[in-house]
Amino acid sequence: MAKAKRTLKWQRDPEGMRLRILEAAKQEFSAHGLAGARVDRIAAKAGANKRMLYYHVGNKDELYLAVLEGAYDKIRSEERGLDLEHLDPPEAIRRLIEFTWNYFLRNPEFLSLLQTENLARAKHLKKSTKVKSMHSPFVEMIRTVVRRGVDSGDFQVAVDPVQLYISIAALSFFYLSNSATLSVIFGRDLLDNKAKDERLAHMIGLVLAALTGQSAALFEVAKAPKSRAAAVQTV
């Protein structure tokens, strides 16, 4: 009784509320896409009233854009924390692939949001000056790493850093974002631990083999006796 009095009817918490709204919106948009997302569900998940969304962020589209900007902001921030410049080039590339893979694994909503935004042909992203100014540090990182690798003789090729960046992202992104349909097609779970480990090893092997020309050392199997090669490959 006395307690009920202390917690009157509600407390003010604008910042907390805004964060809860954005978090709820992120979940809702990534789970259902833009058209499939329900404003009422976002409000409910945020423990709020629907009116609050409009008060603190804006209408559905503005809400969506805020979520998208937040997602880019987050990955850019983590990317900046990765220091690859001083590693030897093959190790730097390996770390880059591992980071990308793990980031996507840890943030599946990011993948969904990008898929959704691309379905919309980046209509919203184009309007966001904020995101346009958030350049990934990876392109320059890759450029210098590749240059160093070529100079040191580790790498055989001076590959376009943008292409390489896209390729590294692609190898992880597609596997994870399309794992649902791929798992059905192949009739096996691509997301169990064994499959994930194999995928990471494959991606690292593929990219490093291409750059260094040392296929043998990077994929498990080399030009070993054929019988053994056949045995080791995982299928």
Contact set with DNA (CB under 7 A) = 8-14, 17, 37-40, 48-52, 54-56, 59-61
Least CB distance from residue 208 to its own copies, whole Å?
8
2-41 residues near its own copies, rule: CB under 8 A: 32-36
Half-sphere CA count of 164, side-chain side, radius 13 A:
25
User: Is residue 198 involved in binding its own copies (CB under 8 A)?
Assistant: yes
- 181 binds its own copies per the rule CB under 8 A: yes
CB of 116 vs DNA, minimal distance in Å: 14
Give the start-end residues of each E strand in the chain.
none
Minimum Å gap between C-beta 190 and its own copies is 8
| Nearest-approach distance from CB 30 to DNA, in angstroms | 15
Question: Looking at beta carbons only, is 6 or 106 nearer to DNA?
Answer: 6
79 is a site residue for its own copies (CB under 8 A): no
Tell whether residue 148 is a contact of its own copies (CB under 8 A): no
Torsion region of 58: left, alpha or beta (phi above 0 gives left; psi -120 to 50 gives alpha): left
**Residues 170, 200: Cα–Cα separation, whole Å:** 13
Q: Would you say 67 and 22 are in contact if contact means Cβ atoms under 8 Å apart?
A: yes
Residues in the chain: 235
Cβ contacts of 176 within 8 Å, gap of 6 or more: 104, 105, 108, 111
